[in-house]
């Protein structure tokens, strides 16, 4: 699996290169600025890109902008964004095109090696990975009127669903049946004016985009 890494901190960048290589990934490029990132992604078309939001020269949102530009040129190009803090606007913008293969993790998660490498694989496979802290902020900052109509259990289901989990995984996490999960999800989507869908990936993107609006 071919990976491009964009990270300006040398130790973190080199650490991710070694980590991903050890877990069977092929790191085809490791860049340290936003200026060359978009061109690198478009020319190499990796299976997944791991991108820091803030890169030189301004350390604002170069990494994110480059990733979004690359996804416009190569629709669906898988991108896993790393950020030091929870910044809701970045999560919303990343999910805006709904093309799939997206993730947003806090940098602290990189130290959890197995979880991090699994997140990289999940995004490369077209899945959605959202940091639980990002999910929590999205849940707290969305359409409050609609969210207020959800039961406590529905909010719990929505929180796990927004992490990109399947019905089976939600059931396991909350210790309920899959049938109960399905019932809760249908109720959530109805209350949030989101049409039910058998496509779990699109469902997650729709919910996150709605909550982050």
Domain co-membership, 18 together with 118: yes
- pLDDT score, position 194: 66
pLDDT of residue 131: 79
Q: What is the CATH number of the domain that holds 8?
A: 3.40.50.2300
Mean pLDDT by groups of 10 residues along the chain of 213 residues: 96 95 97 92 97 89 89 92 76 65 86 90 87 67 67 86 79 93 87 62 57 52
pLDDT at position 213 is 46
Last residue of a domain, one of 130, 158, 193: 130
107 and 23 within one domain: yes
**Kind plus residue range of the DSSP H or E element containing 128:** strand 128-130
**Of the residues 130, 158, 187, the one at which a domain ends:** 130
Domain boundary among the residues 80, 109, 130 is at 130
Which residues have a Cβ under 8 Å from the Cβ of 71 and sit 6 or more positions away?
Answer: 77, 79, 97, 99
The answer on 124 and 144 residing in a single domain is: no
Q: Are 135 and 148 in contact (CB under 8 A)?
A: no
Domain identity same for 30 and 116: yes
Question: What's the half-sphere exposure (Cβ side, CA atoms, 13 Å) at 82?
Answer: 21
List the CATH number of the domain containing 184. 1.10.10.10
The reported pLDDT for the residue numbered 135 is: 66
Residues 77 and 37 reside in one and the same domain: yes
Domain interval for residue 151: 136-212
Residues 16 and 94 in one domain: yes
Residues 141 and 111 in one domain: no
DSSP state of 65: H
Q: Are 80 and 107 a contacting pair, CB within 8 Å?
A: no
125 and 140 assigned to the same domain: no
Distance, in Å, from the CA atom of 14 to the CA atom of 133, rounded to the nearest integer, reads 26
Q: How many domains does the chain have?
A: 2
Place of tokens 């530009």: 69
Q: What angle do CA 77, 74, 134 make, to 5 degrees?
A: 35
């Amino acid at each position: 699996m071919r990976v491009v890494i964009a990270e300006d901190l040398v130790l973190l960048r080199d650490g991710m290169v070694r980590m991903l290589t050890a877990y069977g990934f092929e790191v085809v490029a490791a860049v340290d600025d936003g200026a060359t990132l978009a061109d690198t992604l478009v020319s190499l078309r990796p299976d997944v890109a791991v991108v820091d939001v803030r890169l030189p020269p301004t350390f604002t949102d170069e990494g994110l902008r480059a990733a979004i530009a690359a996804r416009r040129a190569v629709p669906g190009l898988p991108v896993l964004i790393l950020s030091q803090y929870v910044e809701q606007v970045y999560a919303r913008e990343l999910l805006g095109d709904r093309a799939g293969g997206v993730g947003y993790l806090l940098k602290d998660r990189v130290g959890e090696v197995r979880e991090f490498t699994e997140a990289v694989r999940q995004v490369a496979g077209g899945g959605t990975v959202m940091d639980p802290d990002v999910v929590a902020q999205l849940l707290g900052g969305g359409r409050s009127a609609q969210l207020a109509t959800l039961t406590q259990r529905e909010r719990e289901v929505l929180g796990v669903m927004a992490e990109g989990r399947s019905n089976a995984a939600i059931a396991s996490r909350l210790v309920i049946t899959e049938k109960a999960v399905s019932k809760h999800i249908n109720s959530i989507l109805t209350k949030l004016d989101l049409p039910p869908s058998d496509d779990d990936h699109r469902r997650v993107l729709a919910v996150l985009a709605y909550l982050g609006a």
